[in-house]
């Protein structure tokens, strides 16, 4: 998953930044929403630029809590990358206007040259500067490499077996060239889009120290020194009170500098005057938090406090009034997958969820087309498998495009359960009446009389999310499956739910059974690395399958599209997660604010540095 800003909530930070500006949706009809333009095909207006001004952007439901861009493995707050990407861009930046391609203007490299059978990549860095005037050099890359080589197990963006583990040798022939000799050949598209896009450059000349008062040196060049520097920077990175005042975080190479940060999630940027790329035209960017979507839409209605926000689809009738108040509205699909994650190693529910037929029955009972239509008013990806059909349609297989392997079919769900020894009681309690491991029995670890009862925890704050899971709860009951719902604030959710595996897990964080964090953003190359491979960073429920691992590796090592399709269809059928629809983003922005459209699907149009007011 390449680093990117996307509209919505996500637990993962391994590959994406997530701004809580996502559109929310509720039931309701009316034809007015049909007039919302496709933000990807929208033509940008180019009036006279009025330099200066402040833009205020709404954020709903969550807040950043870490500023050092190499966050700990235990920090799963996807909002942090929203905060940091404008300060320290990634080596490779995804999305160029409306195009699903690398943004060469915003990326830190000028060219990438592959050689030696795709086992070697030469990275030519742009001759850019840090905000303090010092040059960005290949030493800044080796600083990041040395830190991660000694600490990758405590880096939340680490993709197992990949950078820095897969680097056999690093050479820096000059100040702007890095040569990576890798341990094997890779698909260059995968490595560029999904690996190099996780790596920011960091200012070695300012950060290579082990204490606030200590001198800057070359501590990173030894394993012990790299651990000490990393520990210091991560400790400082967690101090929210110092995000905008700590001198460390003032040395940036991105278009912005952090001006203010408050504990409630409010923060503001001002332009980095020494940014080497195209400098922002506005004077200030403010991100202001809302706990739910209701006060956000009220602020939009007032017409005075917000310049950019998400439009809840339950308020779609307000679209015309917002236009009359000087706003424009555009939609964009999100490149990612919404999911219900099954905890395969929960003490009570794990034996149930490890049975593929149980996951199949659960999926057959999710009426995805109805959710798209009634909850999201048609503004959602259908959620037919592990690859979104709308946002990354070129990667979607015929199976996914035709509705996926498990279309809504309650009769198939009940037949599956009965065939495996369950007494199905529609609208009641379905229980195991034939325990055992035979082909017509309930399965290993499932006791006689055990009920198909689960708790589903999900992130609160959006009416559409409540309605979606209420609908799922109701449809699962058709086969006597009980789904008890519990909603929590996003930051609470990710802080209390741990990643659980067969080998070991934190008991305190593995009491959950089913969980939905919002969605998981995808990179330009949307394979399952980190999601469905054994031990993957974002493999929260402990799914492990040697065939899945093999198929994912095939997409990493080769560029055969059929290999990608083989992975995709296998994942769709195996249900490492339960697939659910992923809403599109509906962006409301002041009509006099130009540079917003065409919307980049990989950051939801939030290219702040491209925005300007018209005079």
Structural contact between residues 182 and 114, judged by C-beta atoms closer than 8 angstroms: no
pLDDT of residue 274: 97
pLDDT of residue 174: 98
Residue 107 backbone dihedrals phi, psi, to 5 degrees: -70, 160
pLDDT > 90 in the chain, percent: 69
How crowded is residue 205: how many other Cβ atoms within 10 Å of its Cβ?
15
271 forms beta bridges with: 256
For the stretch 135-184, pLDDT in tens is 999 999 999 999 999 999 999 999 989 999 999 999 999 999 999 999 99
Length in residues, the chain: 615
Gap between the terminal Cα atoms of the chain? 39
pLDDT band at 13 (very low <50, low <70, confident <90, very high): very low
Residue 261 backbone dihedrals phi, psi, to 5 degrees: -145, 130
pLDDT band at 201 (very low <50, low <70, confident <90, very high): very high
Residue 397 backbone dihedrals phi, psi, to 5 degrees: -80, 165
Give this prediction's pTM: 0.85
Region of 97 on the Ramachandran plot (φ > 0 left; ψ -120 to 50 alpha; else beta) = left
In order, the DSSP letters of 489-548 are -HHHHHHHPPP--SS---GGG---SEEE-S-EE--SS---TTTTSTT-TT-TT----HHH
How far is it, in rounded angstroms, from Cα 607 to Cα 113? 28
For the stretch 522-534, pLDDT in tens is 888 999 899 999 9
In order, the DSSP letters of 54-123 are EEEEEEES------SSS--TT---TTHHHHHHTTS-BSS-EEETTEEEE-TTTSSEEEEEEETTTTEEEE
How far is it, in rounded angstroms, from Cα 397 to Cα 389? 9
Whether 600 shows a pLDDT value over 80: the answer reads no
How far is it, in rounded angstroms, from Cα 413 to Cα 411? 5
pLDDT of residue 279: 93
Look up residue 226 and give its DSSP letter: H
How far is it, in rounded angstroms, from Cα 139 to Cα 175? 7
For the stretch 560-581, pLDDT in tens is 999 999 999 999 999 999 999 9
pLDDT of residue 444: 97
Structure tokens at 31: 């034809």
Cα–Cα nearest to 95, from 186, 12, 7, 220: 7
Cα–Cα nearest to 589, from 284, 298, 322: 322
Longest dimension (CA), the chain: 74
For the stretch 278-336, pLDDT in tens is 999 999 999 999 888 888 888 998 887 899 998 876 777 788 889 988 999 988 888 88
Average pLDDT over residues 490-495: 84
How crowded is residue 203: how many other Cβ atoms within 10 Å of its Cβ?
22
pLDDT > 70 in the chain, percent: 91
pLDDT of residue 11: 37
For the stretch 30-63, pLDDT in tens is 334 446 776 666 666 677 888 999 999 998 877 8
pLDDT of residue 571: 98
Average pLDDT, the chain: 89
Average pLDDT over residues 201-228: 98
């Amino acid at each position: 998953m390449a680093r990117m800003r996307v509209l919505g909530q996500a637990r993962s930070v391994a590959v994406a930044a997530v701004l809580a500006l996502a559109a929310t949706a509720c039931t309701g009809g009316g034809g007015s929403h049909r007039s919302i333009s496709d933000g990807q095909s929208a033509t940008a207006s180019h009036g006279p630029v009025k330099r200066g001004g402040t833009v205020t952007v709404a954020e709903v439901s969550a807040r950043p809590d870490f500023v050092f861009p190499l966050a700990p493995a235990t920090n799963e707050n996807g909002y942090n990358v929203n905060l940091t990407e404008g300060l320290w861009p990634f080596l490779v930046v995804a999305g160029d206007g409306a195009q699903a391609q690398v943004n060469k203007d915003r990326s830190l490299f000028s060219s990438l040259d592959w050689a030696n059978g795709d086992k070697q990549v030469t990275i030519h860095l742009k001759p850019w500067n840090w905000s303090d005037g010092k040059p960005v050099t290949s030493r800044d890359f080796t600083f990041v490499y040395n830190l991660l080589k000694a600490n990758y197990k405590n880096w939340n963006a680490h993709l197992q077996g990949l950078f820095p583990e897969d680097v056999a040798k690093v050479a820096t022939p000059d100040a702007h060239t890095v040569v990576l000799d890798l341990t094997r050949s890779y698909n260059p598209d995968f490595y560029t889009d999904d690996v190099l896009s996780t790596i920011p450059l960091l200012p070695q000349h300012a950060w290579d120290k082990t204490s606030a008062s200590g001198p800057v040196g070359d501590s990173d060049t030894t394993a012990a020194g790299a651990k000490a520097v990393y520990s210091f920077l991560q400790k400082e990175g967690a101090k929210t009170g110092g995000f905008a005042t700590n001198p460390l975080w003032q040395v940036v190479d991105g278009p912005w500098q952090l001006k203010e940060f408050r504990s409630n999630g409010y923060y503001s940027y001002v332009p980095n005057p020494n940014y080497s790329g195209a400098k922002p035209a506005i004077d200030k960017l403010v991100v202001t938090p809302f706990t739910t979507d209701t006060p956000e839409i009220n602020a939009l209605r007032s017409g005075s406090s917000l310049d950019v926000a998400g439009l809840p689809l339950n308020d779609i009738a307000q679209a015309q009034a917002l236009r009359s108040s000087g706003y424009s509205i555009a939609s964009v699909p999100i490149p990612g997958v919404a999911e219900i994650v099954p905890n395969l190693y929960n003490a009570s529910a794990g034996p149930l969820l490890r049975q593929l037929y149980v996951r199949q029955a659960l999926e057959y009972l999710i009426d995805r087309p109805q959710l798209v239509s009634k909850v999201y008013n048609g503004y959602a990806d259908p959620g037919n498998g592990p690859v979104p059909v709308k946002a990354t349609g070129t990667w979607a297989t015929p199976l996914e495009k035709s509705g996926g392997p498990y279309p809504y079919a309650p009769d198939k769900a009940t037949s599956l359960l009965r065939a495996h020894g369950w007494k199905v009681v529609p609208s009641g309690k379905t229980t195991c009446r034939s325990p055992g491991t035979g082909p017509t029995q309930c399965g290993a670890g499932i006791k006689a009389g055990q009920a198909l009862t689960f708790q589903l925890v999900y992130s609160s704050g959006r009416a559409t999310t409540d309605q979606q899971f209420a609908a799922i709860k109701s449809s699962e009951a058709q086969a006597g499956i009980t789904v008890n719902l519990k909603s929590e604030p996003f930051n609470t959710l990710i802080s209390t739910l741990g990643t659980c595996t067969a080998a070991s897990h934190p008991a305190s964080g593995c009491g959950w059974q089913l969980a939905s964090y919002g969605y998981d953003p995808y990179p330009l190359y949307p394979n399952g690395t980190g999601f469905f491979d054994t031990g993957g960073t974002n493999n929260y429920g402990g799914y492990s399958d040697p065939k899945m691992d093999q198929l994912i590796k095939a997409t990493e090592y080769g560029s055969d599209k059929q290999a990608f399709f083989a992975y995709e269809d296998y994942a769709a059928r195996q249900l490492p997660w339960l697939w659910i629809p992923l809403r599109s983003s509906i962006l409301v922005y002041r009509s006099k604010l130009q540079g917003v459209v065409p919307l980049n699907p990989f950051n939801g149009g939030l290219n702040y540095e491209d925005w300007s007011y018209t005079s």
